Amino acid sequence: MKMEVMNNRVEGLEPVLSAGSFELLQGIMYMKNAEKGSCLFWEGDKADKLFFIFSGRVRTTKTSDSGRALTLYLHQKGDLVGQMDPFNDSVHSFSAEVTHDAKVGVIQRKDLEVLLWQHGDLAVEFMKWMGMMHRLTQSKFRDLMLFGKTGALCSLLIRLSNSYGKQRDGGIYIDLKINNTEMADMIGATRESVNRMLSDMKKADVIEYADGHFTIKDLNYLRDVCHCENCPKEICRM
């Protein structure tokens, strides 16, 4: 199975991994079906596997001291999920929950280490992917820390549009059902504050919401609020 770009979206490993390198990775995978509601791993489990998503969706979460589960990433087809720490023993610092029935390829860390030793091109591309993931994490910290909850929410809407957006009737339709509570968990805010911010955006005719889906009508407004730095879509994503 080759990596694909669907609907002009950048999929997971596609920006950094060549077809030949992906074939090497696929050669050491074993397939696993994961049902909605199950977990690929829990926070604190031994980090000795990576999971490549062939289909379905996976959400990674971090549990706070108060017991609240904060959403870190929404992974989909083409993404590689797991602790990125080859050559060192570690444990997962987050959990991975399957939100839509998934088919994943499981990569044992010890098998990956052998491939990285044997194939220099793959090792370089894997390092590029790790760097891309670090940039993604840093950009999310920027959104959460520098421009308040409104800036974080505007950035979240932009990221959703890059990951799930479709052009429709002069706006960007987000083809992912999401509610205010889930959005609050993605930016570390309360549901009530998200309700208020979204209501203000609706009044300003920036967004629409119907049947569980958002449509962005004024993308520039969102970019101005969160001081968008025009990051590439492989960084500005969920």
CATH number at residue 206: 1.10.10.10
How high is the pLDDT of residue 169?
Answer: 84
Domain extent, residue 207, equals: 146-226
Query: Is 164 part of a structural domain of the chain?
Result: yes
Report helix angle 191-203 to 180-187, nearest 10: 110
Mean pLDDT of 69-89: 83
Mean pLDDT of 216-225: 94
Whether 78 and 39 share a structural domain = yes
How high is the pLDDT of residue 198?
Answer: 96
Mean pLDDT of 15-40: 92
Q: 5-25, pLDDT tens digit by residue?
A: 334 444 577 778 888 999 999
Domain boundary among 118, 136, 165: 118
Whether 47 and 109 share a structural domain = yes
Task: Work out whether strand 80-81 and strand 49-63 pair parallel, antiparallel, or are unpaired.
Answer: antiparallel
Whether 33 and 104 share a structural domain = yes
CATH number at residue 73: 2.60.120.10
Whether 165 and 110 share a structural domain = no
How high is the pLDDT of residue 7?
Answer: 40
Whether 112 and 152 share a structural domain = no
HEC per residue, the chain: CCCCCCCCCCCCCCCCCCHHHHHHHHHCEEEEEECCCCEEECCCCECCEEEEEEEEEEEEEEECCCCCEEEEEEECCCCEECCCCCCCCCECCCEEEEEEEEEEEEEEHHHHHHHHHHCHHHHHHHHHHHHHHHHHHHHHHHHHHHCHHHHHHHHHHHHHHHHHEEEECCEEEECCCCCHHHHHHHHCCCHHHHHHHHHHHHHCCCEEEECCEEEECCHHHHHHHCCCCCCCCCCCCC
The overall average pLDDT reported for the chain is 88
pTM (predicted TM-score): 0.85
Query: Is 158 part of a structural domain of the chain?
Result: yes
The dihedrals phi and psi of 137, each to the nearest 5 degrees, come to -65, -45
Domains identified in the chain, total number: 2
pLDDT band at 158 (very low <50, low <70, confident <90, very high): very high
